[in-house]
Structures are given as structure tokens and as C-alpha cells.
Chain A
Amino acid sequence: MARTLLFIALAAVVFVALPFVVPSYYVSLTTKILIFALFAMSLDLLIGYTGLASLGHAAFFGISAYTIGILSVKLRMSEWVAFPAGLAMAIVLGMVFALLALRARGSYLLMITLALAQVVWGVAFGWRTMTGGDDGLPGLRRPAFVSDETSFYFLVLALVAASTVVLVALIRSPFGLALQGIRESESRMQALGFNVWRHQFAAFVIAAAFAGLAGALYVYYNRFVSPDFLHVVRSAEVLIMVIIGGVGTLLGPAIGAAAIILLEDIISSQTQHWLLALGIIYVATTLFAPRGLIGLYRERFMARRKP
């Protein structure tokens, strides 16, 4: 417990001090990492804690970003309307996906979420008058109070930290424990009188909401949105972040997000063959840390503590 508190305090100090000590580019890179950490954690709620794999998670991220982009740029609405509307659309889409997909399991669930997300991608790509098609929708302004990089960083930090607290509380709540029970055995939870479907539905929608929040932050971060926000490649990317970090650990996926973004940033500046390097890193991670980076850390840590 003391160790956890110390860790949190240390993390808080590092993150709060960061913009005052590192060059501006690293502030914006950290902002990006925080946003994807939230995105990855939201997917982990689904995969790691509920046992529902999804290859369409970027749809929620993207629809929220597009809603904000369209309402602000095309319809000239204030961010006080656009931002909540973005989250609301992510939640609604989460409900739709859950209704259509939740009968499927395993690989089929992976694929039906992929198909549904590709449909949403098709709309973003094809509905040119509103979305700008593949050129995307540029020209979004950040709210005045976070117009500079540092204050935007603190907004993202605050929201991601708050979301993390909510997610942790959720996982430890009776509801969260029920989800984990469902992950282990649906039939047993059913027998115990839990409404499995309703729990899974709720988990899906909550995960969609947090993915939507990440998407909302990302659209303000970039100040534009394009179809690749919700392409299957992005869904796969966040899935990889979760796996690399460690499924079902919440902190792991956040670390996975940081690792992948940093690695890609560093390697792709050094060599044109960054794909090869990343591929080898993925393969090596699977071989040497099949439970993810957090899993590796825990195994080492446990091993050392054994007599």
C-alpha cells in the first residue's frame, strides 16, 4: 500500500514537473502518450476485465473526434456543446455495437466489431460534405483556456488521471468484480443469478465512453480529424498496446501505449526500416514477455522476493 502511494506521488510529481523541465516537443509527445494510455486502458476494461476482445475500438475514439470536429468546424458550435456531444455519440455507438455484437464470442466477436467499425470508417470516408472524406476535417480550434501546449497538457493530464481513478474504482467495485467473474466463467455467473448480458453491455458502453473521451482529447490535440482515426489499423494498434503492456492490468496498457509511441517516434526518426524494427520488437516481446511488460516486471519482481 505504502509502495503504491509512493509510486502515485512520484508519478504525480514527474508529470506535473514535466512541462517545466523538458523541451516543448516532449510535452506534446507526452500529451499524445497520455491520450493513448487512456484509449488503451478503456480497451483493457473490455479485454482484460470482461473477457471481450474487440478489433473495432477505434470506432468510439473516432466517432467522438468526428462529432466534435463536425459540430465545431462545420456547424460552428461551442466546445461546451461539441465535447459532450462527442462523448454522447461514443456512448450511443457503444450501445449499438454491444446490441449487435454481444452474441458473438472469441474470434467472431473480434471480427464483428471489426466489421462494424469498418462501416463507421466507410461513413467517415464517404460522407464528404460533413467529414471532408479522406482529406479529413482541419481547422478545429482548441478552447481558449487550453490554447497553448502546456495548459492543454495539464487538461489532458487531469482528465486522464481522473479517468484512471474512475476505472480503478470501477474494477474494484462489485460491478467490476462481477465482470471479472464473467470473464472467468459466464455460466457460473449466470447460475449465481447475475445477468451476464447486462453486465457485458454496461462494460462495452463504459469502455466506449472512455475511448470516446480519448478521441475527444486527440481531436483537440491535433486540431483535425481524418478517417484513419477510426481505421482498423488504429484498432489493431491499441489492441497491441494492451497486449504489450499486459492484459488485465490497467497500468500495463498505459505503459504499452507509452512504449509503442516512444519506440515508433525514436526508431522511425533513425531508420526507414522502423516497421522491421517494431515487428522484431513485437515478436521478441511475445517470446520473452508473453504476459506483457507488466507481467515481465511482476515475474522478475516475484522471483527476486522468493527465498
Chain B
Amino acid sequence: MRASWIAAGLLPLMLPTTSSFAQQGPIKIGLILPLSGTFAPNGEDTLTGTRIYFDSIGNQVGGRKIELIVEDEQGRPDVGLTKARKLVENDKVQILAGFVSTAVALAVNDYAREKKIPMVLSGDAGANELTMPGPLYNPFIVRTSQNGRTPAAAAAAFAYKNGWRKVATMTSDYAGGFDTIGGFAQAFCKLGGTIVQEQYPPINTNDYGPYVTNIQSGVDGVVTFLPGSAGLKFVKQFDELGMKAKYPLMDIFGQIVYEPFLPQLGDAALGIYSTLHYAPTIQTPENQAFVAEYMKRAKRIPSDNGADGWAGAHAIADAAKAVDGKVEDTEKFLAAFRPDKFASPKGNISFDKYGQLIQSMYVRKVEKTKEGYANVVVESFDNVDQFWPMTEAELESYKYRYSELKGSMTNCAKVLEKK
């Protein structure tokens, strides 16, 4: 008696549960992105890219409307998981997408696997293991951005080809940093190059003076992975302390030469090389249309996050179309991602059997163009899969995980030790 009275009192507070006619309802996609805090711009860019694609198909696919529900994970994994629970259990979304922070993706990973909800990583979350066989692998994951190691492998290939043999590295001290710089060390050692010095400034380092001053003299180049404001602060000091005049710089993932930074950096950015799976300067009709639309909406040049969000939306729509809108049939829906192929702003893309995108890697160089400073593509590697330039078996044969190599990347014998 009392219980039902309480129930009657509480129910109006709760949001209505969805009807049993879910099949006829919209396809609901829950986007989990950082919209406040340090990574807000990455979240915003992913969101804009996602919206651009869905708007271009009238927010409709397979006879069903597409409904986006956006939640801010605040850069905190436990908040991300709470939001995932809300989206799945309360809003009844059929798909989770977005994910900029790897930690948030990992926090949601087990939950999504258990609830059998497809997770489309269309944000930056780049942990290698999420799309490789192993304990973290989740068959419900599809990734339309990149993993940590491929842009690093492209950086190694380009650097070696251009005569760099001894390099110093500078990597932000966090998990994503090792996924990246470890991939570089492995690829570079394999080619025959050597890392002669590794430095790891903590994230949130304000003063890069000590690290820049400390760079070993006589190297052929400096290789960095410094996300967020780290790259910006680093390169200013690198320039002022006279190092830029001495050593060429390879910026894995284009974190230093991130487009919004270029006007701020001015000449300090000129000549910096970077590797990434995207460049706003790519001369294809898909990209030019994308950039124009993006500039119209966001009043800024799109980053890779924007292009990744677009690709994620495209892949979701393709897969939904392939199953006639029946995204509730998770198995069929996920299988429909695998054969998908399309031309994107990033170039031609397809998927491997683990759900990771196969795409191009671009080497860019900052040049002064008519429109101002820009990352101009100087070389591209096409159809790069997540194991490139190795095979899956070869990559698996190495003994050490990248995070275990911190501090011993100067020793190629250890880097290349096999199981």
C-alpha cells in the first residue's frame, strides 16, 4: 500500500520509458564527449563533424529518423560511465559514439560489452589495444579515428627516409604518450635509426625551458608528442631558446601545429613536420566541401577530430542502411561496418576485421600560403591499417608493450626484442 503510494509519488519525477515500438522509433545515438574542461575543443570538433554528416543525409536513414543525444563526460571516466548508463538505460540509445579520452572509453568498454551496445569511437580515443586482440578488445567497438601508433610509424618512415638517424624525443608523460612514442621507437629502430635521448615532461608542465635546454646536442631531429597546450608552450620555448634554428622538428599527431595554433605561432611554426591521418589542405572534393561547410558552422578550420566525427557518422549511417534501419540487431549491424568503404575528407577509408579504420597517413609541413600559415601535405601513405607497415603477426611477435619501454627506448636491442 505504502510502496505503491511512494511509487505514484516518484514516477512523475522520472523520465518516461520508451514505448515497445522501438523499431519504428528513431535511431538514437548517444554521443559521449568532453564539452567542458581542457578537451572541450576536441569534443566540439567531433560533434560538429558528426552533425555535418547527419544533416547532409537529412538526419534519416533506412526509413528511420536519427536522433543525437549529446552528453558531457567532463574529462572524467566515472562521469563518462554514468552518462553511458543514462544514455543506454534511460534514453534507450542503440549506439554509443564519440569518446575523446581513452580513459573514458576504457571505463565504458566493459559496460558496453555487457549491454551489447555498439561503441563507435569517432573521437580521439587512441589506445592501440582497443582494436587489437587482447584483454581490452571489445567486438562491439568500431573506431573511425586512429590508434596511437600509426601516425608514429609514419613519422619514423618519413624521418628515416629523409636522413634522420639519431633523434631526441619529447613526449607528454601519460599513457597515450607511450602508445605513440613507443610506436615511433619500434618503427624507427626497425629501420635502423636510434633514439639517443627520451624526455617526458609531465602533462600540465608550464615551463618547458628546462626540457628544451636539456635537449642533447648534435641530433638529426627532435620528435615530439605533446598534446593540448603542451605543444604550444613547448614550441615557443624551442624557438626562443634557439633550438628550432638548429634541429628539425617532427610533431607526431600534429599537436604543435594544430590549426588554431598556427596564427599564434607565426614564423615559429614554419617548417615543422607533422604526421596525422588528416590535413585540412587535402585537395579532394570531399574535403573541400567539408572544410567549407565546417568553416560556415564553426567559424574555424576543422581538425582531425571534425573529420573523424564525420567519418563516424557516415559509417553508422552506412551500416544502418545495410541492415534496413534495424540497428537493434546488433550482430548484423556491427557486421555491416566491416565491408563499408567510402571517400571521406580524410581520403578513402575502409575497415579491418577488428573494426579499426584503414586510412591514409599524411606527412605535413607548415608553410606560408596565400591563406596564411597552413599544414601542407608533403607525403602520404595510403591504405594504412593499424599494424602498418608490419603484419599483425609481426607486431604481435615483439616482446614489450610500448608503456614498458619508457626509459629504454634508446636501446634498440630491447625495443626490438621478440617474445
Contacts and interface: CB of A to CB of B under 8 A. Distances in A.
Direct contact of A and B (CB under 8 A): yes
Taking residues whose C-beta sits less than 8 angstroms from the other chain, chain A's interface range is 35 or more
Interface in A271-292: 272, 274-275
Contacts of B406: 128
B110 A224 contact: yes
A33 B127 CA distance: 31
Contacts of A128: 175, 178, 403, 406
Contacts of A134: 103, 174-176, 203
Given A21-B11, A23-B14, A224 B82 contact: no
Given A228-B76, A272-B72, A265 B82 contact: yes
A269 B3 contact: no
Nearest to A228: B76
A25 B6 contact: no
A306 B17 CA distance: 46
A86 to B, nearest CB: 17
A222 B81 contact: yes
Contacts of B136: 138
A226 interface: yes
Contact of A138 (B107, B174, B176, B403): B107
A274 B35 CA distance: 10
Contacts of A268: 71-72, 74
B36 A22 contact: no
Interface in B349-367: none
B102 interface: yes
B110 A23 contact: no
A133 B82 CA distance: 21
Contacts of A226: 77-78, 103, 107
Interface in A209-236: 218, 222-224, 226, 228-229
B404 interface: yes
Nearest to B109: A138
Interface in B193-220: 203
Interface stretch (A12-20, A46-54, A97-105, A161-169): A12-20
Interface in B157-213: 173-176, 178, 203
B117 to A, nearest CB: 14
Interface string B357-390: 0000000000000000000000000000000000
Interface of A: 13-14, 17-18, 20-26, 28-29, 32, 125-126, 128-129, 132-136, 138-139, 218, 222-224, 226, 228-229, 265, 268-269, 272, 274-275
| Shortest Cβ-Cβ A-B pairs, 10 listed | A25-B89, A21-B7, A135-B175, A25-B90, A17-B3, A133-B175, A226-B77, A138-B106, A134-B174, A24-B89
Interface of B: 2-3, 6-7, 10-11, 14, 17, 35-36, 71-72, 74, 76-78, 81-82, 85-86, 89-90, 102-103, 106-107, 109-111, 127, 135-136, 173-176, 178, 203, 403-404, 406
